[in-house]
Amino acid sequence: MNLNPQEIKLFTDEHGMQVLLNGEKIPVDKVALAFPQSDPDRYVGLLNTDGQEIGLIENPKMLDKESQDLLDRALREIYFVPTILEIRSVESRGTSSHWEVVTDDGDRSFRIPDREALYGSEAPAITITDESGKRYLIPDYWSMDREDREAIRDLLPDKVVRSRARRGIRVR
């Protein structure tokens, strides 16, 4: 269902985010961009606690200022991807590992379930997804300090390793 941004209001209370729709308060469990890459400023979906779509806001810029600010904060929490500047430690525990890093958004600590959490389709960039679904970016693995590279060497996606070999640089 398309939601008219001039007929709804987003707010938070002790139960979290809510949408006021036709005089009824409906809990909003998640917000999601329909087209995060190609059209990130339009088409925002609101989902209820059962994962069902409440509706789609075609143009969120038409919301009142408070609703717009709340939605922007919620989307930033989901879609902001901090860049890893330094790896302080990576401790393996079985197939999972615990990471301590410095990002462009401050110090972070997270756990990944296995090496599949490192995605290297845009090698030498690596996108890391932690257990909670939060993503982190290493823009260029090969430009990192040697100690940082060593900390995650055994977890590297194959495409990242091959990207170095294609450059004609020996992998140690």
**172 residues of the chain, pLDDT tens digit each:** 899 999 999 999 999 999 999 999 999 999 999 998 788 889 999 999 998 999 999 999 999 999 999 999 999 888 899 999 999 999 999 999 999 999 999 999 999 999 999 998 888 999 999 998 889 999 999 999 999 999 999 998 888 888 766 655 454 4
The answer to whether residue 172 is domain-embedded is no
Round to whole Å and give the CA distance between 45 and 131. 23
Clarify whether residues 88 and 116 are in a common domain. Answer: yes
Give the pTM. 0.66
Clarify whether residues 98 and 153 are in a common domain. Answer: yes
Clarify whether residues 104 and 66 are in a common domain. Answer: no
Q: What pLDDT score does 165 carry?
A: 61
Round to whole Å and give the CA distance between 50 and 159. 38
Residue with tokens 């994962």: 51
By residue range, what is the domain housing residue 97?
Answer: 84-166
Last residue of a domain, one of 47, 79, 111: 79
How many domains does the chain divide into? 2
Q: What pLDDT score does 40 carry?
A: 85
Residue 47, beta-bridge partner list: 30, 53
Round to whole Å and give the CA distance between 137 and 111. 15
